Chain A
């Protein structure tokens, strides 16, 4: 399911019977790994963003607004329950959620393993745009045939007096 716009979900306190860490929100680093795996889940042979080890690339202040609102026992919840809990946090703390999501996406899509996968799937080279640039295929020489054949049709003003 998509989190964006998903309004239903467990609120704070959901999953309080979920295991040993049920009474505490948990270690921020561990929590962030779990959150990242829900934001950007495993795909093909790639683990999720948490499993890729991207939590270390996200500054604590960009995650704390979300982590602080997670229900106790979040890491012990099933994936669907975690997604629902995150959707609830997104509703309750939109700006904080958007901040974390932006930097999660940035960390994920500049990871070499992800870039290599995109190159394989689309042909988009896993390198910066410069200095090589790209080859842009030339236009079909017949493309302009229709528009070139039109008579002048702009609104001339040489005879217009103010």
Chain B
């Protein structure tokens, strides 16, 4: 088996295949991070590194492991990491599951498409993945289906999260302590979180999940081979159009070929369609597995509104994982009286940043220069709480990943180009959600409230670019993640998503990958999975 990409999906899937006895080689274009010696948060320059060499945007970071992304035609800029662990290397570790309705949006709400599986079919894989990586949280949320006990206790909401929880209570809005892929106690041979804050710069305690510290050591222990700094240029096919392996550039720039009985592409929602579109042949003239014409299309993000409250009280907002203190899914389900279909979640986050981040501006705008600067710093630093409006983006074929005609990566391979505009339903949803967040901050007693209708830098989740479905005419993959057009080609990651949901996708990406691995194992053993 050949797996392309060593991120969330590639790591989980490779472990499962290796556990099932298959010989697996994984090609990953980036390298490893040595957390013992290369943890930015251990140095005084951590905020400088966050703005430069570890910036989440590959076009800013420009690391040799990266490929450029043409982003002039997108309202939301790409944020990703290319290396072992994938974008989990710099994620915030918010780990919600999709809700049952997310799999049935056509039937329930008359929009987009239903998934070819439902929540309850995926539930055992959510549970398996949770046990493998370790999730902190609290079972018993009446707003979600019952779930198994969390591996470690919930993260404290801190002062800011507690203020917002009380405000939600007074407004009658449901909230809960979120599932977070961070150990609050040692688990899985990894340490416990010490609440340092900037999870996006990696975790020297290895408390925050990424596959380089969870699945990969296990997979390699089972015999899987991971070749890092090896960039795939093309998935190759035989005279029947079946995958034969991939050509790739190794770290010395040599063009090599890896043969395989089957190929699994787990290169994220941008890299996967890029590679499929690059892999043109007589049998696949428009790109591999693209007879539907949908490879790269239906790109979905989580367009995000962002509201910050500045409080008189010192909240010490630098303490604790930045990406979530509590979560509110009160407005998640459709209520057409609001003027839009589907809904959103609000993550209550501690995004104040350190002193540099406060001044330069991250989610919140930077501080003014001049005489007002020091007053504004004192008013704001450590005293903020933010709410996201994480919206559900409906799939549209005009939102797409294509190949750029001119831009190329360091190996001369054409770069992807993003074409993306926020849809009207999503705009109405965010505007309504921002008003609710303002209402919550007014209830909480914030003295200044700052709103953003769309965070340009929130392009963390690339979904839908090789969607699953039952009909080969309007989907790329079947219900197991196997290409309709190529029986030994499989896809993991965000690309298979049929719809985007209004919450963070990683637990679903990993659960789907484990499920796809089981389908591959069944196929390899001559037991075709049910259709």
Contacts of A96 in B (CB 8 A): none
List the one stretch of B96-104, B260-268, B291-299 in contact with chain A: B96-104
Question: A106-B48, A128-B44 in contact; A2/B107 too (CB < 8 A)?
Answer: no
> A144 vs B314: C-alpha distance in the bound complex, in angstroms?
23
Residue with the highest number of chain B CB atoms closer than 10 Å, among A1, A41, A83, A139 = A139
List the one stretch of A13-21, A26-34, A67-75, A130-138 in contact with chain B: A130-138
Say what secondary structure dominates the interface of chain B: loop
List the one stretch of B136-144, B275-283, B419-427 in contact with chain A: B136-144
Contact partner of B169 (CB less than 8 A), chosen from A6, A134, A146, A154, is A146
Check A153 against B143 for contact (C-beta < 8 Å): yes
Question: A83-B370, A110-B44, A147-B176 in contact; A121/B51 too (CB < 8 A)?
Answer: no
Contacts of A1 in B (CB 8 A): 370-372
Q: Name A115's closest neighbour in chain B (CB-CB).
A: B355
Contacts of A108 in B (CB 8 A): 359
Check B355 against A137 for contact (C-beta < 8 Å): no
Q: Please, what's the 1-or-0 string for A56-90, where 1 marks a CB less than 8 Å from any CB in chain B?
A: 00000000000000000000000000010010000
Interface residues on B, range: 35 or more
Is B47's CB within 8 Å of the partner chain A?
yes
Check A110 against B107 for contact (C-beta < 8 Å): no
Contact partner of B175 (CB less than 8 A), chosen from A109, A147, A152, A155, is A147
> A144 vs B161: C-alpha distance in the bound complex, in angstroms?
12
| Total chain A interface residues with beta-carbon distance under 8 A | 59
Contacts of B114 in A (CB 8 A): 162
Cβ < 8 Å to A, chain B residues 170-210:
174-177, 193-198, 204-205
> A115 vs B333: C-alpha distance in the bound complex, in angstroms?
46
Contact partner of B381 (CB less than 8 A), chosen from A43, A118, A128, A130, is A118
Say what secondary structure dominates the interface of chain A: loop
Is A101's CB within 8 Å of the partner chain B?
yes
Question: A43-B374, A106-B47 in contact; A131/B101 too (CB < 8 A)?
Answer: no
Cβ < 8 Å to A, chain B residues 2-54:
39, 41-48, 51
Check B44 against A39 for contact (C-beta < 8 Å): no
> A156 vs B114: C-alpha distance in the bound complex, in angstroms?
15
Cβ < 8 Å to A, chain B residues 59-116:
99-101, 103-104, 106-108, 114
Contacts of B43 in A (CB 8 A): 128
> A159 vs B156: C-alpha distance in the bound complex, in angstroms?
36
Contact partner of B104 (CB less than 8 A), chosen from A6, A133, A162, is A162
Contacts of B355 in A (CB 8 A): 109-110, 114-115, 118, 124
Check A154 against B204 for contact (C-beta < 8 Å): no
Check A129 against B196 for contact (C-beta < 8 Å): yes
Question: A130-B39, A155-B101 in contact; A137/B194 too (CB < 8 A)?
Answer: no
Contact partner of A130 (CB less than 8 A), chosen from B101, B166, B196, B359, is B196
Check B100 against A157 for contact (C-beta < 8 Å): yes
Contact partner of B359 (CB less than 8 A), chosen from A43, A105, A128, is A105
Question: A102-B360, A105-B359 in contact; A155/B195 too (CB < 8 A)?
Answer: no
5 residue pairs of the A-B complex, CB under 8 angstroms, read A128-B46, A130-B205, A133-B194, A134-B320, A146-B169
Q: Give me the interface of B with A, judged by CB distance under 8 Å.
A: 39, 41-48, 51, 99-101, 103-104, 106-108, 114, 118-120, 138, 140-145, 154-159, 162, 165-166, 169, 174-177, 193-198, 204-205, 314, 316, 318-320, 333, 354-356, 359-360, 366-374, 378, 381-382
